[in-house]
Amino acid sequence: MSASAEHTQSEAQVQAAASPRRRAMTPYLRTVGAIVWKDLRAEIRSRELINSMILFTLMTVLVFSLALELDADARQNIVAGVLWVTIVFAGILGLGRSLASEKDRGSLDALLLAPIARSALFFGKMIGNLLFVLVIAFVLLLLLTVLFNVTLFKPYLVLMVLLGSIGFTTVGTLLSSMTVHARARETLLPILLLPVVLPILISAVRASTGILDEMPSEDWMPWVQLLAIADVIFLVASYALFDFVVEE
């Protein structure tokens, strides 16, 4: 079937269907929403990221569970550490591919060609990554509850997972956009990311341990506050820096 045979609309009709209105820049939230919609739609269809992240999560939890099978106390004590280490490493798998796949197929240029705020592109990608990490975190909480016999679905712990994931994906999305042009980006991203997310990781583990051990809230609340402050700092820094990161 030739293209010409299927041409049923003239150029005049095509142009008539175009809006004469031309805005200099697409509204911010609409841009963020469009990018999140696209990332979710593409992922639901391909399941490229989420499958590998879930498989990694499952394998990690099983290894920890089997290694510590005979020592119930040890399992109880390290559950917060297992939770956050698994979230971080499974998250790195997703963060690494999120922008790299855009770069490899050239669609990163298509995004940068659109009349959108660069920071809206950042927040669109970051929210998409955050949703994937939260799916992993939910699966992880379920697995740890069953295999470690510890109740993890506590309101404050869920809040901690949300705050920690926001900080981690914010830094991760920014650094993955910085390393996306590098040849050794798969190894470069974790090397750069882990030292930067250390404050987030330490705060999250300390607060999670306090919550799980049912300590008084004054013992772990400062860690929650520190984590919230770190999130705000990383979000503002990413908003300010992303323009320069993607500039050629």
Residues of this chain that interact with other proteins (CB under 8 A) are 1-9, 11-15, 17-19, 21-27, 30-31, 33-34, 37-38, 41-42, 45-46, 105-107, 109-116, 247-248
User: At its nearest, how many Å lie between other proteins and the CB of residue 150?
Assistant: 38
User: Degrees (nearest 5) of the Cα angle 141, 166, 189?
Assistant: 95
By three-state DSSP, how is residue 14 classified?
Answer: helix
The DSSP 8-state label assigned to residue 184 in this structure reads: T
Helix-helix angle 72-105:48-67, to 10 degrees: 160
Task: Closer to other proteins by CB, 38 or 154: give it.
Answer: 38
User: At its nearest, how many Å lie between other proteins and the CB of residue 35?
Assistant: 8
Task: Closer to other proteins by CB, 215 or 240: give it.
Answer: 240
User: At its nearest, how many Å lie between other proteins and the CB of residue 22?
Assistant: 6
CA distance 145 to 246: 41
CA distance 200 to 227: 6
Task: Closer to other proteins by CB, 142 or 182: give it.
Answer: 182
Alpha carbons within 13 A on the beta-carbon side of 189: 29
User: At its nearest, how many Å lie between other proteins and the CB of residue 186?
Assistant: 21
User: At its nearest, how many Å lie between other proteins and the CB of residue 58?
Assistant: 24
Q: Are the C-beta atoms of 113 and 202 separated by less than 8 Å?
A: no
User: At its nearest, how many Å lie between other proteins and the CB of residue 37?
Assistant: 7
Task: Closer to other proteins by CB, 157 or 246: give it.
Answer: 246
Dmax (CA) of the chain:
76
Task: Closer to other proteins by CB, 7 or 214: give it.
Answer: 7
CA distance 134 to 124: 15
User: At its nearest, how many Å lie between other proteins and the CB of residue 177?
Assistant: 15
CA distance 82 to 205: 9
Task: Closer to other proteins by CB, 18 or 70: give it.
Answer: 18
Tokens of 175: 């650094």
Task: Closer to other proteins by CB, 6 or 218: give it.
Answer: 6
Cβ-Cβ contacts under 8 Å for 193 (sequence gap 6 or more)? 92, 95, 171, 172, 175
